[in-house]
Amino acid sequence: MLQIQDIMQTLEERQKELGRVVSIGKRAKMDLPHGRLRINHNKGVVEYYRITEKNDTCGKYLKKSDKAIIRNLAQREYIDKQLKSANVELEEIERIIKALQKIVSKGTSGKEILYKSDSVYSLMSDERKALIEPMLMSNYEYALKWEKEEYKKNEFKTEEKVYSTKKGDMVRSKSEAMLADMYYDLGIPYRYEAELRLKSGRTTYPDFTILNVTNRQEIYHEHMGLIDDEEYRFHNLRKIEEYRKNGIFTGKNLFITYESGGCPLNIREIAKCVRWILGM
């Protein structure tokens, strides 16, 4: 789903780019000769004429030695047409931005842009929120609702979940605890070992399911903590292949981390990757 902040950002970036072009064009025209260029084909020979008078339709013939003038006249005409088109587009962009500003507002952070209609639910009291089912909600409210939803967890060998996290989850390894705390510190909604039903009918439990709040899409994170172990490695490679067959793959909605004896977990670098993936 295309977000309003993406639309606004794209329009503002285009506005700056066109403004730059207009500024460059106006400066360049100051050093170019007046008039326009007429190009004529005479028995297979290209002829160039410079027109400076309003009612003149023929112009003054330019020799081959006037190559610089010919090029500059052509450049001036191009700039004139480019500026005219750019200014028309700038006017339309300004009109669209003003129209959008009537239906959006800034979030509490001052950076996020929200549809005003999405804020109706957010501005209600908690007592009223508990009584209604919202038809529209902000990304912030959507994330809160997503985190509060009950989900089926992996019950396999729950006795192995001995490491606690800042969020209060119990996980199977120190590395998973570090990853969970990373998501918690970054303010990224996540679920640990939540049930995932694949298109093939199989059920699996990704280590983490995180929510990209901006587009409200779920991303699955598998951490390979025992990649040195051959059986473990093959098991996870088969799992990744199963994901791929079901439309879940890296670069789209799957994030993979790993560690081995010679390659320990680098939580700082992983956090950088996560921020980049989520556009933070």
Angle made by CA atoms 179, 181, 185, in degrees to the nearest 5: 120
Entry field: residues in the chain: 280
Q: Are 97 and 105 in contact (CB under 8 A)?
A: no
What pLDDT was estimated at residue 235? 86
Q: Which residues pair with 115 in a beta bridge?
A: 104
pLDDT per residue over 54-63, tens digit each? 889 899 999 9
This prediction has a pTM of: 0.68
Sequential pLDDT tens for the chain (280 residues): 557 778 888 999 999 999 999 999 999 999 999 999 999 999 989 999 999 998 898 999 999 899 999 999 999 999 999 999 999 999 999 999 999 988 887 765 556 677 888 888 888 898 998 899 889 888 888 898 899 999 999 998 999 999 999 999 999 999 999 999 999 999 999 999 999 999 888 999 999 999 998 889 999 999 988 877 788 888 888 889 999 999 999 888 999 998 887 888 899 999 999 999 888 7
**How far apart, in whole angstroms, are the C-alpha atoms of residue 205 and residue 223?**
12
Nearest to 222 by CA among 197, 263, 192, 200: 192
Output the pLDDT for position 123. Answer: 84
